[in-house]
Every structure is written in structure tokens, then in C-alpha cells.
Chain A
Amino acid sequence: MSVREAELHLIEHGREVPHLGEQYETIEQQNDAYTIGMWAFIVQEVLFFGGLFAGYAVYRFKYLYEFVAAHHTLSVVFGALNTFVLLVSSYTMARAVRAAMRQQHKEQFKYLLWTIFFASIFMVNKYFEYSAKYHHQLIPNQSYSAEEVIHHNHLKVENGMVDLGARKVSLEEFTGRTKLFFSFYFIMTGLHGLHVLVGIIVLAILAVRAYSDYIRKIPHADYMPVEMVGLYWHFVDIVWIFLFPLLYLMGGQ
């Protein structure tokens, strides 16, 4: 018998809170343990992304002009649109959690689907963004070329030197340093995108569960899985809240 079947069995036999583990005194204690465990996971995720942010900050400071030039090739419109989409998805997620807490499984199902929908829009946008970068040879591999960065910023190249206004660097150095920017860009947004994909899968599993609870008219389903995935989803939103200004917006003078 699966955990789920065991839960349903207990519900049929009239136990009020079938999902209370035997190691807990009360459901509040169990829920608190869930929350703290999830936060412990999120904290290590914060530090995981934090290391990348620290690396990006160090190199942006070191190669400011090159990084700013490379940053100008990113589309603020796409970045802002994706921020908008993720913020709305956080709202629909919060509504799904609220519905789960109130045992409104149809509403819970509906808002989980909306969250998956907005998450998918985010991924589609990212696909178009990545394709454009591929088209402009801005993927940091052997075929990388800084030509698009130079062209986009109307930089002058004379005798193999790139004129950055404040200083000149050799084309070789300029290529290497802008390539470093795109390495950070693809690793950071790529890892974030991977988190969005994982989120979509987990949300889909929750949606199936919500629908099953709705069909079976379960009066006391455990809402904590939805609350926990909600924490994860909002965390993914927060990472983007920092990625957007740091990568897309900060084009210093």
C-alpha cells in the first residue's frame, strides 16, 4: 500500500488528520518541521546561487567596461517581461497554496495550472533569448565572437585595439572578457532556468494530486506539499528578481 493509499484508507475510516506522522505530537508541530526543513534547503540554494553572484560581482568590478558593453546586448524588454511573468506566477502559486489550505481543491488545481502556464511562458521567452544569442555567436564556446558586442555598442576597432572611451584594450582581451560575461550569463540564467523546469514538473505532480483530491472530495488533504513547493517557487522568483537588474539593467556610465 502506497503512502497515498494508506492516507485515503485512514480518511475513509474517519480519522480527522490522516497525514499526521507518528513522531509528531500535533499537526502544527509537523507543519513547522516541514517548513524548517524546506528553509534549510532554500538556504543552501541561496548560498549556491550566492557564489555565482559573488563571482559575477568580482569580475564585473574588474572588467567594468567590457561587462557593461556585453550587458547592452541583452534585451531589457525580454528581461522585464520575464520578471512580470514570474511575479504573476508567484501570485498564482500563493493563490494555489491558499486554496490548498482552505481545502478548495478545484481552485487549487486551477491556480497550479496557471502557475505552470506562466512558468512555461518564461521558458519560451528564454528559448527565444538564447536563440538570438546563438545567432549572434555569443555562446561562450569556440565559435564565440565579440563582433556583435562591438557592433551593438558602436565601438571603434583600430590596429587590433578596441576603443572603450576611457581606455583601449586589445581585441583578444576584449573577446575574452566579454566571453566571461556570457559565461556568467548562461550559467546563472541556465541554472535558474533548470530550477524553473524542475518547478514545472513538481507543479504538474501537485496538479494531478489536487485534481484527484477534488474528484474524491477529500475533506482534509495535507496542504503542506503545496506550501513547500510554493516556498521553492517563490525562491526561484527571488533569484530572478536579482538576476534581472544585475544582468539586464545595470548599464553604468
Chain B
Amino acid sequence: MRLIIENITMKYKDKVAVEDFNTELNEGVYGFLGPNGAGKTTLMRVLADLLRPTRGRVLLDDRDISTMGDKYRNILGYLPQSFGFYKSFTAHKFLMYIAALKGLDKSISPDKVEEVLDIVNLKEHSKRKIGKFSGGMKQRLGIAQALLNDPKILILDEPTAGLDPKERIRFRNLISEISKDRIVILSTHIVSDIEYIAKEVILIKDGKLLGVDSPENILENMKGKVWKGIASEEEFNSMKDDYKISNIVRKGKEIELRIISKDKPPIESIEEESRLEDMYLYYFDQEVEE
């Protein structure tokens, strides 16, 4: 299975949300990483065939997805970035409803619903009304609906929003488990969501593709750009505007800094092993959310 994003450009009036975006995906987890407003959601909607791009096309095994109709919907699982629920529905009823909309056979729907509820750890809450669910539980239910039709292409837009650390780990493991025979597209601005599970990280900024590579290669490219050093208050004050500092730990009068820089910083420092969050800071020049 091969999904090709070919010259996608998406314009809204005078704003260009995505510009000339090209990449190719096959089975595995792909992490679309970029800051808020980078164009990730627009791209996810184009990939889910909810938005028609201004220019370009998305090809699944050489077929334009916009011409595939139900054939594409049959193999698509989609979790939008923000969504609501019918609060009076129970989790079970909600999933039965989505199963009906996805065209799942009535005879298999109850079993499938139980299966996905089990996957997202909501089985014991299946008869509870969604209105009484926490934000994390709602998010898990959202993930469950995306999995109902056993999709070959799973598009998850900011799936870990609202999940606590334990739920995030569980989610990461789940994505790793199910990614074997499918394309999983995961959009996020949280590095740790994709650090250990993504086959490739796709960096997106201002609607443009910055680069595509495996996390290992990205880390390799970051070699020699991460430093750890001890600075005095004055040294820190003189450096903080000119250097990207990813971590600050106060140790008495001294400050331990983790610095992202191509060149050795002007304090006593040693080269550090890079992490994906260093890369985020390096490319996006923003604070890292963990």
C-alpha cells in the first residue's frame, strides 16, 4: 500500500495553509510534527478526503482518493483534532451509531464495538453516558471510533490531547501494535508522541515540508549540536537571547544549561547526546511540550 501526497497546496482566500507538499507513505507510523498553525490539520483533512486541495492530489496505490468515494471511506479511520459527542449516548451506543455510519454489518457490530472498547480500556464504562466521561476518556472513545472498521489508513489529528501520561504511553503502545499492516498518520506538536514509534518523522512548518527522515537519522543529524554547560547568572543572561536553550537547572549559584547550537557555546560545555525534542527546538524555535 502506497499513499502519495503530490504537490498539495491549500489556500483559504489569501492564506496559504499548505504549500506544494510532497511525500510518500507506506505501511508504518508517520509522525507529522510541527507547531500549532503549521498546516497539519488542513493536511490531515485533505488526507481524509474532507477537503479538496486547491492544487495537487493524494494517490492511494496510484488512484486519486477524491475519485474513490466509499472505497476510500471503507479503509479510512479518522480522528479529528476537535470533536464533540452526543452526551446522552452511552459509549456503546455511540460506537454502534458510528459502526452503522461506517456501514459495518449489524451482525458483527456489537463484537467490534466491544473489541475497540477493550483496546482503549473503556470496556467497563461502555454503559456510561458520554456526558459523564473525562476529557481523556472522550479522547479514547474518539480513537475507538476511528478503529471500528479496522482501517488500513488511520489518520489521527493530535490524538493525545487530553490524555494523561499513563494513557499516552498506552496509546503509543496501541499505535505500535496496530501499525503492522496499515498506514498510521499521526499529527502532533508533542515530540514524545512519536519519538519511539514513528517510522518516519515529517516536519512541517508554515505549511511547507521541512524534511522527512527516520528519528534515528534526525538524531544523527543533530550530533554536535547539543551541549551541556554550567553558566553563572551573568553568562546565562548574556546567552539567553542568542542561544536556543532547551533546559535550565539551577544548582546553587550556577545554572546547568542544555544548549542547541551548531557551534560550541561560549561557556565551559560538553557535547550531549541529542534527543528528538532538541531537534524540535532546532527547527521550530519554540518551547517543547512534553
Chains A and B belong together in one complex:
no
